[in-house]
């Protein structure tokens, strides 16, 4: 047993890849996820469970939309704005999409600069990501205000099927909540990076966990997931 | 897939810029689907294609799943198959509910009129 445990830690670089690697990694009593810190594996599993939650929301949206006999409101018109005297359909949602994608880009680069121990750039990129996220939430608040003023409620609206309101507030609300938590999470990680806590492996104030720069990557996984969910919301709720 | 033994996931910055650009282009294209008011099969297929491409880029490159070992990728992607089953089942269910409503709802239930845009 001692011999095999030793083998597990030292034999990593020569493990088989592909299908053979899949079987070898899952077989025998050893850790299945090689090469990754446990925090990263756990974040992935959390994100998988979050995928199930968002899919349940989007599937119930599909169910009510397919089964209603009242026409669905035209999202292209509902989310149109008049900018500079021009009536542009769905423009606010398009801007929000671009903002979230840009925040994903800065996040991905923050992970890279983190591993390169470039603390300053990493922290700045994390803060830029948080600012993008905060502006996204701000626009969502504007959108909610606009729709509520137009009479959209979870139980009905003047434009068509009553289920539109409940789906809209539930799905975008839950997503916006994820973004808001992400912004807070980003600011905490940015502070840790800025102060050099990840280099000194200083225990965190909340979990007392000592983390290196994989913390930035784990934060990144969460943030990209928020962007990923928006891709599906944009396609199914706003464009469909 | 797993050649690098350096700490964590480190890749050339260029790939992030490429993916960022690709996501911008794909988002613009899916917005244009609505702006140009494509309808019918063309609309749905374009929306789905752009959506899946964007999701693929984010998962594979930004979340580094392409560079992770196959054991991890399978543990994350196979359960998603269960969701496809759920979606298929619920669409049958919704179709059936819609059919019963089309057939029976206007016969004396008194809660719905069939004119467009009005409720009650």
pTM assigned to the model? 0.86
User: Token pair for residue A111?
Assistant: 């992970």
> Across residues B75-89, what is the average pLDDT?
94
Per DSSP, the residues of chain B read: -----SSS----HHHHHHHHHHHHHHHHHHHHHHHTT--HHHHHHHHHHHHHHHHHHIIIIIT-GGGS-HHHHHHHHHHHHHHHHHHHHHHHHHHHHHHHHHHHTTTT--S---STT---
Number of cross-chain residue pairs from A and B with Cβ atoms under 8 Å apart: 177
- Cα–Cα dist A104/A98, whole Å: 10
Which helix (DSSP H) or strand (DSSP E) does residue A88 occupy? strand A86-88
Among partner residues A108, A115, A239, which is closest to B16 by beta-carbon distance? A108
Per-residue pLDDT for A9 more than 60? no
Q: Give me the percent of chain A exceeding a pLDDT of 70.
A: 94
User: Token pair for residue A127?
Assistant: 């803060």
Which helix (DSSP H) or strand (DSSP E) does residue A129 occupy? helix A119-149
Per-residue pLDDT for B106 more than 70? no
> Across residues B39-57, what is the average pLDDT?
94
Rounded to the nearest angstrom, the minimum Cα separation between A19 and chain B is 8
**pLDDT for the residue numbered B107:** 57
Question: What residue in A sits closest to B46 (Cα-Cα)?
Answer: A235
> Across residues A79-104, what is the average pLDDT?
90
DSSP 8-class letter at A82:
E
**Cβ neighbours of B10 (radius 10 Å):** 15
Q: Give me the percent of chain A exceeding a pLDDT of 90.
A: 65
**Cβ-Cβ contacts under 8 Å, A41 against chain B:** 72
- Cα–Cα dist A201/A209, whole Å: 9
User: Token pair for residue B8?
Assistant: 């964590």
């Amino acid at each position: 047993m001692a011999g095999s445990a030793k083998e597990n830690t030292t034999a990593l670089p020569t493990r088989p890849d592909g299908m053979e690697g899949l079987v070898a990694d899952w077989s025998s009593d050893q850790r299945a996820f090689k090469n990754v810190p446990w925090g990263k594996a756990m974040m992935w599993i959390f994100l998988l469970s979050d995928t199930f939650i968002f899919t349940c929301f989007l599937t119930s949206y599909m169910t009510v939309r397919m089964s209603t006999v009242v026409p669905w409101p035209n999202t292209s018109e509902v989310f149109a704005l008049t900018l500079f005297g021009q009536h542009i359909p769905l423009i606010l949602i398009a801007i929000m999409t671009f903002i979230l994608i840009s925040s994903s880009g800065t996040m991905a680069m923050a992970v890279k600069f983190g591993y390169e121990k470039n603390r300053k750039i990493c922290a700045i990129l994390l803060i830029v990501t948080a600012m993008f996220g905060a502006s996204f939430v701000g626009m969502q608040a504007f959108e909610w205000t606009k729709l509520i003023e137009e009479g959209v409620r979870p139980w009905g609206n003047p434009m068509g099927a009553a289920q539109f309101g409940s789906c809209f507030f539930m799905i975008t609300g839950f997503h916006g909540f994820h973004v808001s938590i992400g912004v807070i999470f980003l600011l905490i990680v940015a502070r840790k990076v800025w102060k050099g806590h990840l280099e000194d492996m200083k225990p965190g104030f909340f979990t007392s966990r000592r983390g290196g720069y994989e913390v930035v990557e784990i934060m990144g996984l969460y943030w990209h997931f928020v962007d990923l969910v928006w891709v599906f919301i944009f396609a199914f709720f706003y464009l469909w | 897939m797993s050649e690098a033994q350096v700490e964590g996931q480190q890749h050339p910055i260029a790939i992030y810029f490429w993916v960022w650009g690709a996501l911008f282009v794909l988002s613009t294209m899916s917005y244009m689907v609505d702006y140009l008011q494509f309808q019918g099969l063309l609309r749905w297929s374009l929306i789905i294609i752009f959506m899946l491409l964007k999701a693929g880029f984010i998962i594979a490159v930004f979340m580094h799943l392409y560079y992770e070992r196959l054991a991890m990728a399978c543990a994350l992607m196979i359960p998603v198959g269960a969701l496809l089953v759920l979606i298929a089942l619920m669409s049958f269910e919704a179709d059936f509910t819609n059919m019963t409503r089309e057939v029976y709802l206007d016969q004396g239930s008194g809660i719905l009129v069939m004119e467009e845009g009005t409720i009650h």
